[in-house]
A and B are shown apart, each in its own frame.
Chain A
């Protein structure tokens, strides 16, 4: 796919991908480095934390010394990683075709013998590649940290949580891509994609605050992500199937919409 729309997407974003990849490695190294200093004191801090914080980060541990997996689940995979990934994913989904539509370069591509389906397919694969590179760097950083510092973590579980996070990002990205393909406006897709993530996160938090609101978790993408849970228990097949299924539906919707919509009006 060299020098195709797939390649062009990645080339045009290489600086952003490089910066986020370095940030992920740095974050991972910081959190693996400081674990040893906090592992004994952390439970006391969590005992005094408000219920809202637990709803935001997931169930807190009761052990007096927390494991590296739980440490990562609270500090990195509970909120920071999914929020960063959601932001990257929304931008990627809205820009993949939207940037070319806004700038007008899409006409150069569409004037060539390439089908609209192939454009969406290549852009979707490029988004997947972008998210995979950045999430792989997070795993790499943690792996490096486990060798450099006293941080005895299950790298296979970290890999599972990272893959889950990558698919979580992919789902958000494809939701945004489908909105852009339907509407044609990058800004509109950014706004709706952000609302989707924001509302989804509010539902996730509310579902953890009250039993009456528990059913809200089923409509929140954050419930299916559950990075901290995957770090401890390994991959959750049901959650993955839901996210992959939603991604597939959004991808097909993007294909359908982009094929039939007027472009360059």
Chain B
């Protein structure tokens, strides 16, 4: 079974009443890939992920996991899936180890030695009641329950939410270890570094529609930056309109804001000639980059 494509979505649509959440989505995820699934809030990421797991039934189209229908063969499929929800809810009255035992009884083929390794690496005690844990530690328990049976397909929704930078790094190592084992990871994220670090490919979805799929490791250019430059007095914006890498130029009194795609040397040279007094770079979100990239 696991020789088939881990995920094959064809013409998938989901509507709530009259409003479409996802429209005609088609994508495939290859075995051994770390596949990023990106988009702004309300884009349809969670709807798609919940449909992969058959929490939601497709309104139209078909979803196959390892060649099996996501609705008809849901139970069989879940033997091979690990899932971390975006805002995971755990049983507060249980300890971590009780939760893992419970999920094992529900049919997960737990690798207990691996559970111990995960707990050690993530520096979390499995004996404490979940209700007493911080958000970050609950997220670690969530990660352990998703990874504990070394599933052939991991579906992770915002997996590093609440984790500190050190734990994020450990998580990246966990993902790459799973990838080395030939397993597939489907991950939704807002974190640019995360996507660059772990993803082989990424799909970008907006307003329920697939905007594009890119090979992150090979040919996707993340170098889109937005600068705000302060001068002693207002400058002529025409100085920058002729530069091909510059776009979205706005001026407010003596502050100039512009977006630079790719090489910044020509822009910096021009700015230098105008003697700026301050230069700051705004945080660029992954969504901004994709929207700029696809000009949507």
The reply to whether B56 and A4 contact each other, CB–CB distance below 8 Å, is no
List which B65-87 residues lie within 8 A (CB) of chain A: 74-76, 78-79, 81-83, 85, 87
Per the bound structure, the CA–CA distance linking A4 and B107 in Å amounts to 10
Indicate whether A16 reaches chain B with its CB closer than 8 angstroms.
no
Q: Are B103 and A108 in contact (CB under 8 A)?
A: yes
A263→B47 CA distance, assembly (Å): 11
Complex-state Cα separation, A4 to B105, whole angstroms? 6
Please determine whether B91 and A112 come into contact, CB atoms closer than 8 angstroms: no
Using CB atoms and an 8 Å cutoff, list the residues of chain A in contact with chain B.
2-5, 8, 12, 103-105, 107-115, 260, 262-265
Are B56 and A113 touching (Cβ within 8 A)? Answer: no
Residue B62 at the A interface, CB < 8 A? Answer: no
Given contacts A5-B106, A108-B145, 5 further A-B contacts (CB under 8 A): A104-B87, A104-B88, A113-B79, A263-B55, A265-B16
A114 contacts B93, CB within 8 Å? no
| 26 residue pairs bridging A and B, Cβ less than 8 Å apart | A2-B105, A4-B106, A8-B102, A103-B89, A105-B90, A108-B88, A108-B89, A108-B90, A108-B103, A108-B145, A109-B106, A110-B54, A111-B53, A111-B78, A111-B83, A112-B78, A112-B106, A113-B79, A113-B106, A114-B106, A114-B107, A260-B57, A263-B55, A264-B50, A264-B55, A265-B56
Closest A-B pairs by Cβ, 4 of them = A104-B89, A113-B107, A112-B106, A111-B83
Contacting residues of chain B (101-121) with chain A, CB-CB under 8 angstroms: 101-103, 105-108
Q: Is there an interface contact between A113 and B75, defined as CB atoms closer than 8 Å?
A: yes
In whole Å, how far is A53's beta carbon from the nearest beta carbon of chain B? 44
- How long is the Cα–Cα vector from A155 to B87 in the complex, in angstroms? 53
Inter-subunit contact B102/A110 (CB<8 Å): no
In the complex, chain A residues whose CB is within 8 Å of the CB of B54: 110
**Secondary structure call for the A interface:** loop
Task: Give Cα distance in the complex from A104 to B90, angstroms.
Answer: 8
User: What's the Cα separation between A115 and B101 when bound, in Å?
Assistant: 18
CB distance from A101 to the nearest CB of B (A): 10
Q: B-side interface residues toward A, CB under 8 Å? A: 16, 50, 53-57, 74-76, 78-79, 81-83, 85, 87-91, 93, 99, 101-103, 105-108, 145
Q: How many Å lie between the Cα of A34 and that of B54 in the bound state?
A: 58
Cβ–Cβ contact B56 & A112, under 8 A: no
Closest partner residue, chain A, to B77 (CB atom): A113
Q: Which residue of A lies closest to B107 (CB)?
A: A113
Q: Are B89 and A112 in contact (CB under 8 A)?
A: no
Determine the chain B residues whose CB is within 8 A of the CB of A2 once the complex forms: 105
Please give, as numbers and ranges, the residues of chain B lying within 8 Å of A8 by CB-CB distance: 91, 102
The answer on a CB contact under 8 Å between A112 and B93 is: no
A260 to B103, CA, bound (A): 23
Report whether B103 and A107 are in contact in the complex, using a CB–CB cutoff of 8 Å: no
Candidate in A12, A104, A265 with the most chain B CB atoms within 10 angstroms: A265
Which residues in B have their C-beta under 8 angstroms from that of A4? 105-106
CB of A4, distance to nearest CB on chain B (Å): 6
Q: Which of A3, A103, A115, A264 contacts B56 (CB 8 A)?
A: A264
A232 to B180, CA, bound (A): 73
- Nearest chain A CB to B131 CB, angstrom units: 12
A102, chain B: closest CB distance, angstroms: 9
In angstroms, Cα B107 to Cα A109, docked, is: 10
B108 touches A104 (CB 8 A): no
Point out the residue from B79, B101, B145 that lies within 8 Å of A3, measured CB to CB. Answer: B101
Residues on A with beta carbons closer than 8 Å to the beta carbon of B93: 12
Partner of A262, one of B57, B81, B91: B57
B106 surroundings in chain A (CB, below 8 A): 4-5, 109, 112-114
CA distance A111 to B79 in the complex (A): 9
Residues of the A chain whose Cβ atoms lie less than 8 Å from the Cβ of B101? 3
Q: How far is the CB of A112 from chain B (nearest CB, A)?
A: 4
**How far apart sit A103 and B85, CA to CA, in the bound complex (Å)?**
13
Q: How far is the CA of A264 from the CA of B50 in the complex (A)?
A: 8
Chain A residue with Cβ nearest B54: A110
Complex Cα distance A262/B53, Å?
A: 11
Whether the Cβ atoms of A105 and B91 lie closer than 8 Å is yes
B219 CB to closest chain A CB, in angstroms? Answer: 34
Given known A-B contacts A3-B101, A3-B105, A262-B57, A115 and B87 have beta carbons under 8 A apart: no
